[in-house]
Amino acid sequence: MEKFYTTTAIDYVNGAPHIGHAYEKILTDVIQRHFSKRIKDVYMLTGVDEHGIKIQKTSALLNISPKEFCDMNAQKFIDAWKLLDINYSQFIRTTDEMHIKAVQKIFTKLINKGDIYKHSYKGLYCSGCEAFLSEKDLDEDGNCPVHKKKPEVVSEENYFFKLTKYKDAIIKHIKDNPDFIIPSFRANEVLNQLENIEDISVSRAKTSVNWGIDVETDDSQVIYVWIDALSNYITALGYSVDSIDDKFKKYWPAEVQVIGKDILKFHAIYWIALLMALELPLPKHLLAHGWITIDEAKMSKSLGNVVSPESVMKAFNMDSPDAFRYYMASAAPVGKDGNYSDDDFKEKVNAHLANSMGNLLNRTLSMLVKYFDGEIKKEFIVESELFKKAKETIKEVKHHFDYFEVAEAAGKIFELVDCINKYVTDNAPWTLAKEGKMKECGEVLYVVLETMCAVSSLIYPYCPNIAQNMAKQLKYNLDTFYDDITFNNIKEGKLISKDEIKPVFLRLDSEFAPKSAKK
């Protein structure tokens, strides 16, 4: 690959960002950072979805304009992703002028092509989903299964997209490309949904919804939010039907589009059909992640268990988001649901980041200073079986990321860390020093520090700040590509002095940690 383009779903701005939003952005950011160590040109898109009936109603209750409401809430998402060190390349808002104009051009093109037509319609509309539902979509009480409310009956003349025209082509693409939808078991869900698919409404009458993008050729209609929102992945790159930027030519199609499992239908069916209608290449992969529960219960405003990433950071008084990023990114196997709890968070990050990894580096550097004044002598530089294990781990981590198995890759990294810890225990450099076997002691310390250079590279996508602190103390170039990692980074001479040794991660209940971090 010469480039790697990845996208997140764009978040609806009717509420503030919560831990579920954070999970998706962290997951995508970790993927993007990993591939930045394999490919020179990476591009990550995220943003917010700002149109629709909920925005219209909520802003009216607040007695402000929809745009003012969107401006206020969009900033909350921007601030949240800055807090979590989400390294996106572009943040798109669906109220951006370039997006609005491009969506109008797309809509007009599909009208002219005959893929969008006007039709009188009576159906069940869930304002929570911003979607029309059929009877079979409802639960046994006739409610939307997601929002637990009865949809309203809507009767109006709308524009419809000929989704059925692309049904067979979508089915063929999914069957011909078994790794298109990740995890693969989700593909059957989509194929089942395709069996009874119908043409979909892609506009609303302004008498029902006026906060949206106007249909270019019909001032009585606004473009339905899903067509509006889904198009962001290409409009952000400069796609506009009659003018296509070099950025679009360079980055499209996306290598992976990261979304929640609840909106897979819209992406695997509606989005793919829209791309087919526009005669554009399809994304290579759709990664449908699971949900994050809170203490094993689904997040709900009524239950009062909606957790924001900012609240976690404040509760543990963390200056860096690395611990939260690592915990969330490793919360669940690919595509499965994960869980957050304060106790598990503290236990896991203390065990992995503080005890296993951080303490390993800290005590090894401290021994180097204690026994050798922080100096690596020429005779310490040897080959080790541990380097072979590290090389295998790099291959395994890359393999997992090829299938976007982010949590599984994290497991492999800490298997390597455990091996390094075992190597230290088995060889006991403190005992070697006590016995006067200084060359053997130095060799052990060198092997550990050399292997920790590879660990710093591997942990970087999850914990960029910790990785940078590790690399600084190891005098290691963290910009090294994975394929270029060697085991001759630690050079002969002075490596570190006592005052340069700093813990890369303090336990959350450490005596040095702030009181508010002691849970």
Q: Which residues are the active-site residues?
A: 18, 21, 126, 129, 144, 147, 298, 301
**Sign for the pseudo-dihedral over CA of 128, 132, 133, 135:** positive
User: Using CA atoms, how far apart are residues 277 and 279, in angstroms rounded to an integer?
Assistant: 5
Q: At what angle do helices 53-61 and 66-83 cross, to 10 degrees?
A: 100
Residue indicated by tokens 């000929």: 162
Provide the pairing of β-strand 203-205 with 218-223.
Answer: antiparallel
Q: How far is CA 88 from CA 82, 84, 99, in A?
A: 10, 11, 18
Q: What are phi and psi of 125, to 5 degrees?
A: -115, 125
Residue 437 CA, distance from chain mean position: 49
| Cβ-contact 58, 14 below 8 angstroms | yes
User: Using CA atoms, how far apart are residues 3 and 248, in angstroms rounded to an integer?
Assistant: 12
Three-class secondary structure of residue 482 per DSSP: helix
Provide the pairing of β-strand 218-223 with 213-215.
Answer: antiparallel
Write the CB contacts of 343 (distance below 8 Å, at least 6 apart in sequence). Answer: 519
In 173-315, at which residue ranges do the beta strands (DSSP E only) sit? 181-182, 200-201, 203-205, 213-215, 218-223, 256-260, 286-289, 292-294
Amino acid identity, residue 334? V
| Cβ-contact 54, 130 below 8 angstroms | yes
Provide the pairing of β-strand 3-8 with 256-260.
Answer: parallel
Q: Fill in the DSSP letter of residue 404.
A: T
From the DSSP assignment, how many helices (H) and strands (E) are in the chain? 20, 18
